[in-house]
Structure 1
Amino acid sequence: MPTRSSTRRRLLVRALLSLAAALPLVAALPFSVTRAEDPWPTRPVTMIVPFAAGGSTDVIGRIVAEGLRVELGQPVLVDNRGGAGGTIGTAAIVKAGPDGYIIGMGTASTLAINPAAYKSLGYDVLTGLVPVTNIAAVPNIMSINADVPAADMAAFIRLAKEQAGKMSYASAGIGSVSHLMGEQFKLATGVDIVHVPYRGIGPALNDAVAGQVQVLFDNLPSTLPMVQAGKLKALAVSGPNRVPALPDVPTFTELGLDDLGWMAFFGLVVPEKTPPAVVARLHAAAVKALAQDEVKSRLVAQQAVVIGNRPEEFAAEIRRDLDRMRRAVAAAKIELN
């Protein structure tokens, strides 16, 4: 007959055996739960905008940041790092830790014009950044002072050639989008118009309206009100289609000026070596954000064309625009330090 002590020993052995059998499952549980319930992001994400608050990049960045907050379930905090034409903020994105908690806005200026125009940036946008998606693109516009006696592009080109070297175009500054557009226009048409750089598009726009300069190249949103008010005459817009707000104004492509057909893009980028899973998650969230009615309507109000393409498509667009800007920079002999 078993004793009380032997019975206790048997029960203890059975308990230990049961515990040992359960150990593999218990050991696996924390890892499985972490992977299933604790994906990126688990804390706020910072979006570096390489320009000051209030500009187009900042406005579009904040619109998308709010959409991403909804899709990611975490705040997306905008950090404006303006200065040096966007190079300071872009350098900060390149040098950030590649964990997905620093993302950034990349534009035609920071990813195409600056690499083409600056002698040395200290970073390479093609290898130091991973494109996520082209959020949206804004058409560019070429306009002339209302008193210039030219009703369309053909008439203006004839007039400019007749007055070679006597007409001028305003830009937001050396190496700006408007400067590069002006140089591309000169290359494409053979006209001789003088570049007058300003400290920002605001004063350039004011002098174009006042007639101090005859021509202005700009992003559409800031020039559109002056065109609609009859203070400037629009000759062409960029992009694959005409702008709904200016249905009678042809595109550069329609006029045979393909090199000026590009739009100013605003996209999401992350530092090199950011995990592919994080890039995929951010891309999916951005595409969903761009489908939100509020986000879409606010971007359209900025005259933007909503895109949301794949990372490899955005990368190809960056390379294409960089090549285009390098040609224009070389022809105009632009070199920034």
Structure 2
Amino acid sequence: MSGGVTTRRGLVAGGLAARFLWPGSTSAQGAWPSRPLRLIVPFPPGGASDLLGRLMADGLTARLGQPVVVENRGGAAGLTAAEYASKQPGDGHTLLLGTQPTQVFNKFLYSRLPYDPDRDFTPLSTVASVPYVLVVTPGLPAADLPGLIAYARAHPGRLNYGSSGIGGGMHLATHLFAERAGGDMVHVPYRGAAPAVTALVQGEVQLMVDLVPNSLPLVRSGQLRAFAVGLPERTPLLPGVPTFHEHGITDFDVPSWFILVAAGQIPLEAEERLRAAAEGTVADPAFAARLEAVSAQPMPISGPALRDFLAEQGARWEAVIRSAKVRLD
């Protein structure tokens, strides 16, 4: 292996251990980071994901002493960005704002995924979570979640639920609800969250499990009704809306989440500094205050607990995807 940036895998192959380098020692190429970093965001500018990425980039910049530049690479629900990031050098200078699809869903949705979410990235820290809410059209003949469940069971196949597309978070979360409710519901996919929400308002579909930022203004204006939120406790954004847990559906804590990962298996020094910088950013009260703009909240998980979290998420969503019988290739 040439050069002074040595990966952990290279050290193991050479019979060395990076953890035993003398304090203050650096590679021949100098201390890390040696140049500006890139943070790949898998969606276009202007959305919630873009804002989260830029907030994280600002926090990392302040803590690492090098600029962290956001690079938007939208397409294929994040697959385009994840594939691109996975092919970058594993030197700690390329980061990805990972999502449930890029880091978990895709490995069960595609038989020929062009990257490996586990092998091709170093997980650093969770960034934020965004809660889901079950919303229904005002014309639905049910007053609350128990009424909806009773109606679905009494009228199998009559209820249609919308989503932003096959295999996305909205689809899988609503499928999970339909399973737990014991009702036979029909999935109607749309080309994105916005047209799906519009279809719900217009009554083309009767319900969906949607991200709170998408539906919150419509719930507040009375154009949609909110029946339950997918959190352990009620959210201040919708204080009058109960949780699924309150209605006896105890395993529906399924927020959408964002995670910071680095391309490749990066040097230990880079991993430790990136993790510390990410943890510091997520713990910053100013960061939490900015997240409120997109109805998100900090999600402080890192280190071994993060790998456990990803394993748990993989097991949970693999079962849902298999139950939904979804394949994207």
TM-score, scaled relative to structure 2: 0.88
Task: Give the aligned partner of residue 315 of structure 1.
Answer: 307
Task: Within 5 Å, give how 1:1-337 maps onto structure 2.
Answer: 39-337=31-329
CA distance in 1, matches of 2:24, 2:192: 54
Q: Which has the larger radius of gyration?
A: 1
AA matched with 2:233: N
C-alpha displacement of 1:190: 1.4
Structure 2's unaligned 5+ residue stretches are 1-22
| C-alpha distance 211-114 of structure 1, shift in aligned 2 (>3 A) | same
Q: Given that residues 41 and 97 in structure 2 are in contact (C-alpha distance below 8 angstroms), is that contact kept between their aligned partners in structure 1? A: yes
- CA RMSD of superposed structures (Å): 1.9
CA distance in 1, matches of 2:170, 2:126: 21
Q: Given that residues 91 and 264 in structure 2 are in contact (C-alpha distance below 8 angstroms), is that contact kept between their aligned partners in structure 1? A: no
CA distance in 1, matches of 2:121, 2:247: 35
Structure 1's unaligned 5+ residue stretches are 1-30
| C-alpha distance 182-32 of structure 1, shift in aligned 2 (>3 A) | closer
CA distance in 2, matches of 1:286, 1:155: 43
- Secondary structure at the counterpart of residue 259 of structure 2: strand
Q: Given that residues 141 and 218 in structure 1 are in contact (C-alpha distance below 8 angstroms), is that contact kept between their aligned partners in structure 2? A: yes
Greater displacement, 126-135 / 170-179: 126-135
- Secondary structure at the counterpart of residue 150 of structure 1: coil
CA distance in 2, matches of 1:208, 1:271: 39
Q: Given that residues 70 and 289 in structure 1 are in contact (C-alpha distance below 8 angstroms), is that contact kept between their aligned partners in structure 2? A: no
Q: Given that residues 133 and 268 in structure 1 are in contact (C-alpha distance below 8 angstroms), is that contact kept between their aligned partners in structure 2? A: yes
C-alpha displacement of 1:176: 0.8
| C-alpha distance 55-116 of structure 1, shift in aligned 2 (>3 A) | farther
Query: 1:289-325 deviations in whole A, cap 9, x for unaligned?
Result: 2233432211122221212322322222222112111
TM-score, scaled relative to structure 1: 0.86
Query: 1:131-155 deviations in whole A, cap 9, x for unaligned?
Result: 1001111111111011212121100
Q: Given that residues 139 and 239 in structure 1 are in contact (C-alpha distance below 8 angstroms), is that contact kept between their aligned partners in structure 2? A: yes
| C-alpha distance 259-117 of structure 1, shift in aligned 2 (>3 A) | farther
Q: Given that residues 201 and 224 in structure 2 are in contact (C-alpha distance below 8 angstroms), is that contact kept between their aligned partners in structure 1? A: yes
- Secondary structure at the counterpart of residue 254 of structure 1: helix
Q: Which is richer in helix? A: 1
- Secondary structure at the counterpart of residue 127 of structure 1: coil
Moved over 6 A (4+): 31-35
- Secondary structure at the counterpart of residue 211 of structure 1: coil
| C-alpha distance 182-150 of structure 1, shift in aligned 2 (>3 A) | same
- Secondary structure at the counterpart of residue 118 of structure 2: helix
AA matched with 1:95: K
